[in-house]
């Protein structure tokens, strides 16, 4: 059986969490914000892409990924406390090396985390062609094809390539923070 180097936090038992965190695991907290999706895309679009990027990271690095926080589900005033609660909960579980993985087309001003605890990605989430291509790769039946803008060049293969490049970029940023991961 092949096992990935990394794991989703919610796939672990309490005992497995304690063991990983005692081993000084790196924990990433994905926070995604893409604004309202285009009319031909479902509301789950940004979270689905964030989970796919997270899964790609798990295939490359021995990190623990916390559940995705959908920043667009909260007011800007509430996002900070929600993120703070998530970080406090991870620290209570024993996590010592934590970074927020901000997947957003533009920086989320409400994310107040130490500079060394922030990894940015998702710069292309404002690009409708890219996002549509990603969703065509991940869940093609959820794209409302009759509503797709005329002349769209979105395609699943472009989404796969784009997400792979994004995972490479994020992985490099995480490794630059914690070189012992490789």
28 part of a folded domain:
yes
- For 137, the token pair is 């790769």
DSSP-assigned beta bridge partners for residue 29? 100
156 part of a folded domain:
yes
What is the model's pLDDT at position 105? 78
Domain around 63: 7-177
What is the model's pLDDT at position 24? 87
133 part of a folded domain:
yes
Confidence of residue 112 (pLDDT cuts 50, 70, 90): low
66 part of a folded domain:
yes
The arithmetic mean of pLDDT across residues 28-57, rounded, is: 94
CATH of residue 139? 3.40.50.10310
Widest Cα–Cα separation across the chain = 53
What is the model's pLDDT at position 23? 84
pLDDT of 114 over the 70 cut? no
- For 100, the token pair is 């927020």
146 part of a folded domain:
yes
Beta strands at 69-70 and 97-104: parallel, antiparallel or unpaired: unpaired
105 part of a folded domain:
yes
What is the model's pLDDT at position 16? 95
Q: How many structural domains compose the chain?
A: 1
Which segment of 37-46, 55-64, 105-114 scores lowest on mean pLDDT? Answer: 105-114
What is the model's pLDDT at position 109? 64
34 part of a folded domain:
yes
The arithmetic mean of pLDDT across residues 39-44, rounded, is: 94
Summarize pLDDT for 115-161 with one digit per residue, the tens. 458 888 988 998 999 999 999 999 999 999 999 999 999 999 999 99
161 part of a folded domain:
yes
Summarize pLDDT for 49-96 with one digit per residue, the tens. 999 999 999 999 999 999 999 998 988 788 888 988 999 999 999 999
């Amino acid at each position: 059986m092949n096992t990935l180097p990394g794991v989703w936090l919610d796939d672990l038992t309490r005992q497995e969490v304690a063991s990983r965190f005692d081993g000084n695991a790196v924990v990433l907290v994905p926070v995604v914000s893409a604004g309202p999706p285009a009319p031909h895309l479902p509301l789950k679009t940004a979270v689905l892409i964030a989970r796919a990027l997270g899964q790609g990271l798990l295939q490359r690095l021995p990190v623990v990924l916390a559940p995705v926080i959908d920043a667009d589900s909260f007011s800007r005033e509430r996002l900070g406390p929600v993120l703070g609660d998530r970080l406090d909960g991870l620290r209570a579980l024993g996590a010592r090396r934590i970074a927020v993985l901000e997947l957003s087309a533009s920086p989320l001003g409400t994310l107040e985390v130490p500079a060394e605890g922030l990894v940015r990605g998702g710069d292309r989430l404002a690009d409708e062609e890219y996002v549509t291509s990603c969703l065509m790769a991940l869940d093609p039946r959820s794209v409302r094809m009759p509503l797709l803008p005329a002349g769209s060049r979105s395609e699943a293969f472009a989404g796969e390539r784009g997400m792979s490049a994004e995972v490479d970029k994020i992985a490099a940023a995480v490794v630059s923070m914690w070189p012992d991961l490789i």
